[in-house]
Chains A and B, each alone.
Chain A
Amino acid sequence: MARHEAFDGGEETRQRITFTIDGEKITAFAGQSILEAADAAGIYIPRLCDVEGLDPQGSCRVCTVKVNSRPVASCVHPVSADDVVENDTEEIRRWRRDLIKMLLHEGNHLCPICEASGRCELQAMAARFETLEPDLYPYLQPVRPVDASHPDIMLDTNRCIRCGRCIRASRDVDRKYVFGYIGRGIHKRVGVNATDLAHTRIDLDDAAASLETCPVGCIIRKRVGFFAPIGRRQFDLQAPGDEIEKRKGEGK
């Protein structure tokens, strides 16, 4: 399935264009997002809220690049012919690092005791951008609810980064509308469309309940935490983006 149908006019009919990322010439289809074109060319642009299989929403801003000197979210920005895109520059790495740090400081992310450690995309991004210790910001240590009412699935909003992946998966893939945002500004987090998780229609087969959907340890499956041994967890074996970068030189 093509990811971004809105941009697509069918593979054959689409117009091919060229643009550059960090000086490297890339071929893309007109209307493709920058991120999608970069993926196809084997250039990894870091991201949190965007994931294969869901429409992009451009909310986390980790995928920010500069297009012709203007910052945009590359997951939602369509590429145009002759665009000059900056991706892996010191300035942009710093923006991304700051975004990751702010997420870590806003929530309660206790990696040592979190079962998502080793498969957590936020943790992997923190490692990528070497956010090793608190410096810029205070820890906000918010008091957030844990919803363990469902027999098999648990929602620990201490770890929510508001990527909205569960919301999109439940709405667009499962067609169940289990999750939505509640609260405003810094208090915004994911909530459920019922009194609690047990009263929603979610079940283990839902895309929204899949461990690939939640990038952190907010939506977890009960009683299987820590089952993956250290050394064999998802990101022990390869970092996010390794797959994409492998495509480089393999053709498209």
Chain B
Amino acid sequence: MSRAKIIEIEPLTRVEGHGKVSIHLDEANQVQEARLHIVEFRGFERFIHGRPYWEAPMIVQRLCGICPVSHNLAAAKAMDMITGAKRLTPTAEKIRRLAHYGQILQSHVLHFFYLCSPDLLFGFGADVNERNVFTIIKQKPELAMQAIMMRKFGQEVIRATFGKKIHGSGAVPGGVVKNLSIPERDALLKEMDQMLKGAAMALAMARDYTVENQQMVERFGSFPSSFLSLVRDDGALDLYHGNLRAIDSVGNIIFDQVDYQDYGDYIMEEVKPWSYMKFPFIKKRGHLDGWYRVGPLARLNCCGYIDTPKADKALAEFKSLTGGKPNHMTLAYHWARMVEVTHCVEKIGELLEDPDLLGNELLTKGERAPEGIGVIEAPRGTLFHHYRVDKDDLITHCNLIVSTTNNNEAINRSIRQVARASLSGVPKITQGMLNHIEVAVRAYDPCLSCATHALGQMPLVVELYNHKGDVMDRLARG
């Protein structure tokens, strides 16, 4: 029996984290299998054992330098349960929300403009020397400047609430440690008009790309899937808090308004030998069919409406593209992401006008519990943090299901699909062809370091193996 040829893309570039893609070819050069391997191992879930619970939000935010606020908040929400703070003070919840909207805004803008716009503007197969953020700065300086200012604004929101732009300390079990000062609020308010304009520009760019390239977008790395996200009690999009809703590929509810404290009854994780990243699935559908997608696309597919006007209008337009049915276009993640950017900017504006942000009641507590689960919609999707704590306040158990982990199966499917479409049977595999694979991966904005909970250099690699298992080609940048 002949062995398959394997192409490996290693390192994958313009994604957060270190991973590789392997593409297996048979003797006729047809793609048999394609996989995303996460080659990092970190061990946060283990080395946090024996640490006091109030340290957890500070330790776990070090999982990531892109979305530390999300990890900090998910852990703090879990620790709220442990300290019995079932309901935070208005100031505490709003400060946390403000930080979170700032986090999602800066992360989405970073991803769309810095990492993905070169593919969208110059083409997936464009020369790698052209297809990068530096060309954007040269050719479209206004766009680049807008992107930089938007990201900066998001970071400033984080600094105002968490004390630092990266790895600050804002949320603690039971609340937050600071409110917003009037000068901090006013400095942010001054930027709002510019941010609304920027969000509208970004939204139009992502929408136009999807609509103008609809035929390609419908096919590229796309497939029917289930979706999972938090939604508010009334079905509205809520990025900070809500209950779990899962829908199937045609939009039927699989489960709805599930309290995430019970996530273990609904979601399980499978381990595969070739990746450090686990494969979560919806329990009642089993590990073969129970996989789902999370993130901006899932959130827009799951939610009924958005409670801010501009984003809600954008949602209606987004939904009309597929006649109200779930949108399965992987590249539509970009459009969905920009709808969320609009929502975040609107929410930040709304919150900045709210006097509660200036309040002094920051902390609350209640009856101590031995276990806590915190779930939040992080930029890349639903993020689960689950802890158990002993009577001496030390952590004895930690399970993290990170956004990218939820998308594991879906990313693998997108890779397989694009590999089959663009690599099967071609005599010579070019760099541009391999970039198609990366474009598919990038659409999910995966954070590979979060997903394995890795330190150091984090590029993604592609390698091409022949049917004897020898490396034929290797793409390693980063």
- Give chain A's interface residues, CB within 8 Å of chain B: 112-113, 115, 146, 148-149, 154, 222-232
Contacts and interface: CB of A to CB of B under 8 A. Distances in A.
Contact of A229 (B55, B83, B177, B393): B177
A160 B173 CA distance: 26
Nearest to B171: A226
Given A148-B392, A148-B394, A154-B52, A226 B177 contact: yes
Given A115-B54, A115-B55, A148-B52, A223 B173 contact: yes
B80 to A, nearest CB: 13
A112 B164 contact: no
- Secondary structure of the A contact surface, majority rule: loop
B400 to A, nearest CB: 16
B370 to A, nearest CB: 15
Interface string B65-86: 0000000000000000001000
Contacts of B169: 226, 229-230
A225 B54 contact: yes
Contacts of A227: 172, 177
Given A146-B394, A148-B393, A226 B162 contact: no
A230 B52 contact: no
| Residue of B54, B162, B392 contacting most chain A CB atoms (<10 Å) | B392
A223 B54 contact: yes
Interface string B377-403: 000000000000000111000000000
Nearest to A222: B393
A4 to B, nearest CB: 37
Contacts of A230: 162-164, 168-169
B62 interface: yes
A223 B389 CA distance: 13
A223 B55 contact: no
A115 B167 CA distance: 13
Given A148-B52, A222-B393, A229-B177, A112 B163 contact: no
A231 B164 CA distance: 9
From DSSP, what is the main secondary structure of chain B's interface residues?
A: loop
A146 B164 CA distance: 29
13 contacts: A112-B58, A112-B167, A113-B62, A146-B50, A146-B51, A222-B54, A223-B173, A226-B58, A227-B177, A228-B177, A229-B170, A229-B177, A229-B178
Contacts of B110: none
A60 B466 CA distance: 63
A229 B180 CA distance: 12
A113 B178 contact: no
A148 B50 CA distance: 9
B421 interface: no
A146 B47 CA distance: 14
Contacts of A154: 52, 393
Given A112-B62, A223-B83, A223-B173, A231 B163 contact: yes
Contacts of B170: 229
- What 4 pairs across the A-B complex have the smallest Cβ distances? A230-B163, A148-B392, A229-B178, A229-B177
Nearest to B54: A225
A118 B54 CA distance: 17
Contact of B54 (A149, A226, A228, A231): A226
A229 B163 CA distance: 7
B59 interface: yes
**Which of A149, A224, A225 is the most central at the interface, judged by chain B CB atoms within 10 Å of its CB?**
A225
Given A223-B54, A225-B52, 14 more contacts: A113-B55, A113-B59, A115-B54, A115-B58, A146-B50, A148-B392, A149-B392, A154-B52, A223-B393, A226-B57, A229-B177, A230-B163, A230-B168, A232-B178
Contacts of A224: 54
Contacts of B164: 230
Contacts of B55: 113, 115, 225
Interface in B292-345: none
Contacts of A146: 50-51, 394
Contacts of B62: 112-113
Contacts of B168: 230
Interface string B171-190: 01100011000000000000
Contacts of B393: 148, 154, 222-223
A115 B55 CA distance: 8
A22 B51 CA distance: 46
Interface in B211-265: none
Contacts of B50: 146
Interface string B23-54: 00000000000000000000000000011101
Contacts of B52: 148, 154, 222, 225
A226 B172 CA distance: 7
Contacts of B172: 225-227
Interface centre among A113, A154, A232 (most CB of B within 10 A): A113
**Which of B168, B172, B394 has the most A CB atoms < 10 Å from its CB?**
B172
Nearest to A229: B178
Nearest to B169: A226
Contacts of B57: 226
A155 B84 CA distance: 24
Contacts of A231: 163
B156 to A, nearest CB: 14
Contacts of B54: 115, 222-226
A103 B189 CA distance: 46
A93 B447 CA distance: 44
In this complex, the member of B51, B163, B394 whose beta carbon has the largest number of chain A beta carbons within 10 angstroms is: B163
A223 B363 CA distance: 12
A222 B163 CA distance: 22
A231 B83 CA distance: 26
A65 to B, nearest CB: 37
A119 to B, nearest CB: 13
B317 to A, nearest CB: 41
A225 B189 CA distance: 31
Nearest to A225: B54
Contacts of A232: 178
Nearest to A146: B50
A1 B250 CA distance: 79
